[in-house]
Structure formats: C-alpha cells, structure tokens
Structure 1
Amino acid sequence: MTPEEWTYLAVLLFSIPIGFVFKRGVKQFGGAAVGLLLTLVTCNIHTLHSLVTILGTWVILRLSPR
C-alpha cells in the first residue's frame, strides 16, 4: 500500500471510535477540534489554505448586506 492509502486507512480507523464518542454527547466543538486535528495531521502546512478560505468566507458573510 502507498503512504496515502495508509493515511486514509488510519483516518477511517480513527473515525470509528470518535463516532461513538460523538453519539454520547460531544457535538459541535468536539467535531471542530477533531476536524482540525485530522486536517493538521493529514495536510500539514496546506492547512493554512483551508483556514484562509474559512476566514475569507466568514468576512464576506459578515460584510454582506442581509
């Protein structure tokens, strides 16, 4: 298997126990934390692109008239 396939498998296996934790009550902030952690682990420095995109979208939504 290639390193990318190992990473994909690890993310899938990591997601199974996390799903049981979320079923018991950890919701919004827990999901955001796990998502950020997975992004940092799998994308490293390229995570900055995602963060800039999120912040840019937030700014556009805040400045647009309703």
Structure 2
Amino acid sequence: MSPDELVYLGVLAASIPLGFLFRYLSPPVKQGAAMLLGLSITIATCQVHTLHSLVTVIGTWIIIKSSWRYLE
C-alpha cells in the first residue's frame, strides 16, 4: 500500500469510533468538534491544496452575505 492509501485507511478507521463519541456531545460542541476534525482531516490528506477549498468556501460565504436577498 502507498503512504496515501495508509493515510486514508487510518482516517476511515478512526472515523468509526469518533462517530460513536460524537453522540454524547451537545449540539454546539458537536458542531465545533466536527469543524475542527474535518479541517484536520482535510489538512492531513490534502496539505497545501486545502487552501483552494478554503478560499472557495470563504468566497461563497462573502457572496451570500453580500447578496441583497440575505441582507438583514
């Protein structure tokens, strides 16, 4: 197996027990923990290419927030 395949296998194997632990968290804590875990997994697997996804998400957020439909 290549190193990339081992990383993906490790992520999948770790996701199962983490899913059971998430069940016991309150919704706000669960949301923050899921965000940090997802960001960590993305950085671990994609390294510098994570920047493209991050810029896309931030750009979309800016477009939504500046849209006349969603201004409050």
User: TM-score, normalised to structure 1's length?
Assistant: 0.90
Task: Give 1:27 shift.
Answer: 1.2
Task: Give 1:42 shift.
Answer: 0.5
Task: Give 1:3 shift.
Answer: 2.5
Runs of 4+ that moved beyond 3 A: none
CA RMSD of aligned residues (A): 1.1
* Amino acid of the structure 2 residue aligned with 1:13: A
Larger radius of gyration: 2
Alignment of 1:60 with 2:63, yes or no, is: yes
Q: Distance in 1 between matches of 2:59 and 2:36?
A: 20
Question: Aligned residues, how many?
Answer: 66
Q: What's 1:6 paired with?
A: 6
Give ranges in structure 2 of 5+ residues lacking alignment.
Answer: none
User: TM-score, normalised to structure 2's length?
Assistant: 0.83
Q: Distance in 2 between matches of 1:8 and 1:44?
A: 13
Q: Distance in 2 between matches of 1:5 and 1:37?
A: 17
Highest relative contact order (Cα 8 Å, sep 6+), 1 or 2? 2
Give ranges in structure 1 of 5+ residues lacking alignment.
Answer: none
